[in-house]
Amino acid sequence: MLNGVGGKTIEEAQANMSLREFRSWVEYRKKRGRLNVGMRVEYGSALLATLYANQHAKRPYKIWDFMAHDSEQPVSLEQAMESWH
């Protein structure tokens, strides 16, 4: 897992992390964004590319169209909790 938070594997994190701790991490990510610096940079440049493309293109683009390493929208808390069970 990321920086050993909750354990070294997803299974360990699921077993060790409480719902309260999970929610606090969700709030942290909402406030601060991604934990990976490279993904933060990619998100910022994709945002600029989206703004530019939407002003000069006929069809609307979404930010995910310009993110090579993250082509899907983030999952919601409910979706994440569903996938854990």
Whole-model pTM: value is: 0.52
Q: How crowded is residue 35: how many other Cβ atoms within 10 Å of its Cβ?
A: 13
List the pLDDT tens digit at each of the 85 positions of the chain.
455 566 677 788 778 888 888 888 889 888 877 777 888 889 899 999 999 999 998 899 988 889 887 756 667 778 888 887 7
* Domain ranges for the chain: 35-73
Distance between CA 26 and CA 83 in Å, rounded?
Answer: 15
Per-residue model confidence (pLDDT) at position 5: 64
